[in-house]
Amino acid sequence: MRKVGLFCIILSLTIFSACNQRIKVTRTDTPTSGIAEIASDDCFSPIVQEEIDVFEALNKDASIIPTFASEVDVFNLLLKDSLRLIVAARDLTDAEKQGLLNRKLQPRTQKIAVDGIALIINKENTDSLISMSQIKKIMTGEIDSWKQINEQSKYDQIAVVFDNPNSSTVRFIKDSINRGEPLAERLKAQENNKAVLDYVSRTPNAIGVIGVNWVSNPTDTTNLSFTDRVRVMSVSKSDPATRQSSFQPYAAYLALGEYPLRRDVFVITSDLRGTLPAGFVGFLVGDRGQRIILKAGLIPATRPMRLITIQDEF
């Protein structure tokens, strides 16, 4: 009887061990099928959602589940191995790469686009020209009134809004505009980019800092217009800002480097090749994925872009 009991215990342990081993090898997704969770900087949520919609329409057995969050939160999800694909406005640092390698993961980065940071104002505000030096003075607090930009302005206090303190937009302002100088305390954070757009559309004295894909006109295949909810400012590299020296963040001006507020966009994955995340990366850098990027007003990173000369009328 004792031998029978011992045999049952050994048999149970063997079955339990075998079940555990089977659970560890349940990965069944392919580049075009399965389920994958990804994360994206909220700044790129419109374009990433469209990429997902088209990818899933082409691959009926694939399901991409996105999380849209701040840049800080998106990288934390990747570094903690909560998911294995993110879309962001910066590459991994050396320390972040090493952290993933320590987890036996192989991070890979692919540039997918060049993005523009748009400055938006209320439609009633006609002060639409601004120089880079003026932008820095606004962000550091040296300029706080519209009358310091245009003495004839009908507005006084400038209300600056951005998405949230942990966003890539705020990091861009700190690194590329302020050059290490602290942000003015009066700058206001909103919940996300949509909230920035809503706030500026109803606040006459506001300036919003937002990704260009949030203000592009999806019905304009020429990429020569923006949403009519707000006015998009023209930015000059030099002082004073004139109509001749100032440019809006149209795709052509981003490509030519005329518009100064630009940054790269990356897709970063730590997953294996041959998986659904890897398949989605292939789609993003392929022809269909890059066409979606161009339609959103950004510059495709892996496909050539044809530029045409247009005549501005003022």
Does residue 158 sit in the same domain as residue 253? yes
235 and 192 share a domain?
A: yes
In SS3 terms, 111-164 reads as EEEEEEEEEEECCCCCCCEEEHHHHHHHHHCCCCEHHHCCCCCCCCECEEEECC
Q: What is the CATH number of the domain that holds 81?
A: 3.40.190.10
Identity at 309, one-letter amino acid code: T
Q: Is 54 helix (H, G, I), strand (E, B) or coil?
A: helix
Q: What is the pLDDT of residue 177?
A: 95
Domain residues for the domain of 211 are 116-262
H helices of the chain, in order, are 2-23, 45-58, 71-79, 94-102, 132-140, 168-172, 193-202, 251-256, 276-285, 287-295
pLDDT of residue 26: 74
pLDDT of amino acid 23: 44
Which conformational region is residue 146 in: left (phi greater than 0), alpha (psi within -120 to 50 degrees), or beta? alpha
What is the per-residue DSSP string for 67-101?
EEE-HHHHHHHHHTTS-SEEEESSPPPHHHHHHHH
Domain shared by 242 and 267, yes or no: no
Q: What is the pLDDT of residue 303?
A: 78
Please indicate, yes or no, if residue 168 is contained in any of the structural domains.
yes
Q: What is the pLDDT of residue 307?
A: 58
- Show the low-confidence residues of the chain (pLDDT under 50): 1-4, 6-23, 311-314
DSSP state for residue 32 in the 8-state scheme: T
Asked if 238 contacts 245 with a C-beta cutoff of 8 angstroms, the reply is yes
Query: Is the domain of 162 the same as that of 70?
Result: no
- The torsion defined by the Cα of 16, 17, 18 and 19, in degrees rounded to 10, comes to 50
What does the pLDDT look like over 189-219, one tens digit per residue?
998 999 999 999 999 999 999 999 999 877 6
Number of domains in the chain: 2
The answer to whether the beta carbons of residues 137 and 184 sit under 8 Å apart is no
Answer yes or no: are the C-beta atoms of 68 and 42 closer than 8 Å. Answer: yes
Do 179 and 243 lie in one domain? The reply is: yes
In a domain, 6, yes or no: no
Please check whether residues 95 and 123 belong to one and the same domain. Answer: no
In a domain, 17, yes or no: no
The pLDDT value recorded for residue 110 is 97
Q: Does residue 313 form part of some domain?
A: no
Contact 215, 232 (CB under 8 A): yes
- 188 and 95, same structural domain? no
Q: Beta strands 129-131 and 234-236: pairing type?
A: parallel
CB atoms within 10 A of CB 97: 18
- Asked if residue 291 and residue 235 are part of one domain, the reply reads no
Q: Does residue 90 sit in the same domain as residue 146?
A: no
Inside any domain, residue 74: yes
